[in-house]
Amino acid sequence: MTVQHIAVIMDGNGRWAQQRGLARTKGHQEGLETAKKIVKTAADLRIPYITLYVFSTENWKRTEGEVGFLMGLIQKHLRAELAFYAANSIRVRHIGEAAALPHEIQVELADIAAKTAHYTGTTVQLAINYGGRDEIVRAVRKLSGKPLEELTEADFETLLDTAGVPPVDLVIRTGGEKRLSNFLLWQTAYAEFYSTDVLWPDFTPAHFMEALDSYAKRTRRFGGIV
């Protein structure tokens, strides 16, 4: 069974660090390295789309120090990994409310999107300051002046951050939790879910392949009968 779009909830960075007596920031650093390995694996497998839940609209509730570190880490990564994206023909897109992000990150996101737009391999969507409910509300605001009685699901999808991207086939969540946490609520309507107790920094390409193997063994009915 082919997979077009995988969404990943990268959970467990803080717990990974705490279990080792380290600062939570160390967990985020290790998690970034894991993300790079998984993106490389997805690119090697020629999976068309992978979306990473990097920073949610709820993550602003964390301590000022942790939020500041995460913003700096994101900015540094975007600037440093252009060669990696080029070598693997990876296109990078941002989803989420960019206007609320620090100006420097807005610039970096726009720059990396422009510089990778012509690549034809895997598209990586970075969900930064992203929330599924927020995305839907922002989409509704774009409907101003349009006759609602004529609105179709296909019309509405063009207003989402993920316009033009196929729906999610598989959601992978690390860290043992079994919930979406406000991630791609519209796009995951018929997605398969795979949860593992492995914390994100320990999640390897082999674990990724296990998730794909689990997905391949499932039967997707989309509300119908096979």
Q: What is the spatial distance between Cα 45 and Cα 196, in angstroms, rounded to a whole number?
A: 21
* The Cα angle at residue 21 between residues 16 and 27, in degrees rounded to 5: 35
Helix, strand, coil proportions of the chain in percent (round to 5)?
A: 45, 15, 40
- Cα separation, 50 vs 91, in Å, equals 10
Q: Give the max Cα distance, the chain.
A: 57
Cα 73 from Cα 126, distance rounded (Å): 14
Phi, psi of 2, deg, nearest 5: -75, 155
Calpha distance 55→74 (Å, rounded): 9
**Nearest-angstrom CA–CA distance, 215 and 38:** 17
Residues with catalytic annotation?
A: 11, 59
